[in-house]
A and B are shown apart, each in its own frame.
Chain A
C-alpha cells in the first residue's frame, strides 16, 4: 500500500478522498524566494450524507485546503503533491481537462461562502444569478427552470419576490439564505461551506444553521463545513477535523472529539470554550502559530505544547487511528503514534505497523 493509486475513490461510501495533499504558495519577488507551505500533507475522506467539519485558527490553512479541493488554485498557489478524488469523477481532480472540471462545478460540487456581502454580482438580479449558475445543468426549458427555482425557494421557505431583487436590496442573512438555495438547487453530491455564518449576528446565525442542516439532510448531500467557531461545529457536524499549521492534528466523530480530545491543541481549544457557571480562569497558549514559510522542525505544535517531549522536536507525528473513527497526530497521545515520513505517505506506514 505504499503507492496510492490516482483513480476514483477507494471506498464507494466516500464522496471525497484526499491523499497526502500539499498546496504551497510559491513566490519570487524582488529577488526573494518564499514558499509558504499552507497545506502540507492532508489525507482524509468525507462519507456520503455526512457533515465534516474543519476547525482551526486563522492562517492554519483551512481556506487553502478548500481551494485545493475545489480546484480554485491560482498562482502563486500551486498543488505540489498529492491527489484529490471524488466519487463522481474518474481519476484525480487535477488530471481532468479544464472543460470537464467546469462541467462538474455546481452540479456535483457547490459552495456556500463567507461574506455574503459580496458573493453575488451587484449588477444582476437574483433570478439571473440562478440562471447563470444552474441553468445549463438542469436541462430544462426556460419556463420549467423558473418553475423549478421557485419551487426550490418555496421548499426552503424563501419568498419568491427575492428573485427580482438586486443583492444590495437584501439583508445579509437573506443573502446567505439565497446562497444556500443557490448551492443546493442542483442537488450536488458535496457542498463546501466556508465560514457561512461568521459574518452574521447570533440570531440569524441560528436560522441559517438550521437551514443548512435541513437542506443537507433533506437533499442528502455531503458537506465540508469550515469554521473556527467550535460551537457551530458542535451543532452541525458529524465528524470534525482539527487543522494546525497546514496539517490535520486530530479527526473524529464530533461527540468523541469534544468528550475526549486526544491532541493537546484540541484539548486546549475545547477547554477554552465558555461554559455557563464555570468561573475558572483560562490560560492562553503561549506563542503564536508558526510561520508557514519556515515551519519548525518536527511536530509543528511543539514550541507551544505543554506535553512536548524530546522526540517532538525532530519527528513529525503521523495521523494515527487510536480509537474507532478517531485519529490523532501526537506522540504524547499514545506510543502507537510513529514518526511520519515527511515526503511520503506516513499514514500507510503506520497503519501497517499498528496492525
Chain B
C-alpha cells in the first residue's frame, strides 16, 4: 500500500509540473504581444457602445490585473496564478459582461461528453478489432477492415468531419448539420431533449471515432502479434487451452494493459481533434467557443479556454495514471 501512496505522490508532482509549465508558457505567450492589449480590448468593447463608464472601468481594471500591463512581470505572474486558482478570468469581451468562467462552464459539459464517449468507443472498438486482426492475421475481412481504418487514420480530423458533413447533411440530408440540439428546443431533463442531443452528437462523434480508431487498431495489432509468440501463450496453446479462452484471457487481457497508458498519452491529441470537429459541426463545446473567441478578438476568453484546456487534459492523464496500477495485477504497487 505504501508504495502506491509514493507512486501517487510522484504523479501529483508530475501533474503539478505539467500545469506549471503549461500555464507559464501560456503566460509567456500573452506577453509576446506588441500592442497594449488592455486598451485595445477596451476600445473594442466600448465601440459597441452598450456599456456604462463604470463597467468599462471595471473591465479595464480586471484586464489590467489579468495581463498586468505596466507592472513588473513577476507580480503579474503571481496575480495570474491567483486568478487561475479561483478560475476568475474576468468578463468576456464578446459577450460582455458575462464572466468567462460562466461561458466556459456552459460549453465544457458538451466537450467532455463528446470527447469521453468518442474516445472510449474508438479505443474499445479499435483495440478489439486490432487485437483480433493481430491474432487471426490471415482473416481477410479483418485485414480489409484494418486497411480502411489505417487509411483513415492519417487523414486530418478536419477533412473527415467535412466529408461526413457534406455526405450526411448535404447529399443525403438525414442528420442535423449543426448545433448541440434542435434550435428552438428548450433544454431540460426531457426525453425529447436527450433524443435531440443524441441525434446531434452522432456525426461529430462518428467523425472523431473514424479517425481515432486507426491508431488503436495498429497499436493493438502490433502488441498482439508480439504477445502471441510470448512463452505463456505458446505454453497454453500447447496445453490445448481452447482458442476462445486463449484469445480473451491470455492474449487480449495482456495487450489491453499497455493501451491504457497509451490512452493517457494521446488525450492531448484527441482534444485537438475535438476542437476542429466542433467547429465543423457547430457543436457548442469549448472548441467552437475558442474559435469564435479568436475571431471576436475576445482575449480573456481565449486565455481562459487555453488555461482550462491545459488543466483539464493534465487532470485526465493524472487520473488514468493513478488508476492504472490498480487494474494491472503485474504492477506491484497495490497489494
Task: List residues of chain A with CB under 8 Å of any chain B CB.
Answer: 70, 72, 101-106, 110-111, 113, 115, 117-124, 128, 132-133, 136, 166, 168
Contact = CB atoms under 8 A, between A and B. Distances in A.
B230 interface: yes
24 contacts: A72-B237, A101-B240, A102-B242, A104-B240, A106-B239, A106-B240, A111-B235, A111-B238, A111-B239, A115-B231, A118-B231, A119-B231, A119-B232, A120-B235, A121-B236, A121-B250, A123-B329, A124-B250, A124-B253, A132-B236, A132-B249, A133-B239, A166-B330, A168-B330
Nearest to A168: B330
User: A-B pairs with the 6 shortest C-beta distances?
Assistant: A105-B240, A118-B231, A119-B235, A102-B240, A133-B239, A106-B239
Contacts of A113: 231, 235
A105 B238 contact: yes
A133 B234 contact: no
A71 B38 CA distance: 78
Contacts of B249: 121, 123-124, 128, 132
B82 interface: no
A118 B329 contact: no
A133 B329 contact: no
A132 B231 contact: no
B137 to A, nearest CB: 12
Contacts of B238: 70, 72, 105, 111
B296 interface: no
B192 interface: no
Nearest to B330: A122
A228 B234 CA distance: 22
Contacts of A72: 234, 237-238
A238 B240 CA distance: 29
Interface of B: 230-232, 234-242, 245, 249-250, 253-254, 257, 328-330, 332
Interface of B, helix, strand, loop or mixed by DSSP: helix
A128 B237 CA distance: 15
Given A121-B250, A132-B239, A133-B239, 18 more contacts: A72-B237, A101-B240, A102-B240, A105-B238, A106-B239, A111-B235, A115-B231, A118-B230, A118-B232, A119-B235, A121-B254, A123-B253, A123-B328, A123-B329, A128-B249, A132-B241, A133-B236, A133-B240
Nearest to B327: A123
B232 A133 contact: no
A103 B240 contact: yes
Most buried by A among B230, B235, B242, B245: B235
A120 B332 contact: no
A119 B240 CA distance: 14
A221 to B, nearest CB: 15
Nearest to A72: B238
A177 to B, nearest CB: 16
A113 B330 CA distance: 21
A136 B241 CA distance: 9
A133 B245 CA distance: 10
Nearest to B243: A102
A121 B330 CA distance: 10
A65 to B, nearest CB: 15
Nearest to A104: B240
A111 B240 CA distance: 11
Chain A CB within 10 Å — which of B230, B239, B242, B329 has the most? B239
Nearest to A103: B240
Contacts of A119: 231-232, 235
Given A110-B239, A168-B332, A122 B232 contact: yes
A163 B15 CA distance: 39
A128 B236 CA distance: 12
B92 to A, nearest CB: 50
A133 B241 contact: yes
Given A132-B245, A168-B332, A120 B239 contact: no
Contacts of B237: 72
Contacts of B245: 132
| Among B232, B234, B330: residue with most chain A CB under 10 A | B232
B329 A122 contact: yes
B332 to A, nearest CB: 7
Contacts of B230: 118
Contacts of B328: 123
A224 to B, nearest CB: 14
A153 to B, nearest CB: 18
Contact of A120 (B232, B240, B241, B329): B232
A198 to B, nearest CB: 14
A115 B245 CA distance: 23
Contacts of A136: 242
A72 B250 CA distance: 18
Nearest to B249: A124
Nearest to B229: A74
A122 B234 CA distance: 13
A80 B244 CA distance: 30
A104 B240 CA distance: 8
Nearest to A102: B240
A336 B235 CA distance: 43
Contacts of A105: 238-240
Contacts of B240: 101-106, 133
A214 to B, nearest CB: 22
Nearest to B240: A105
Contacts of A115: 231
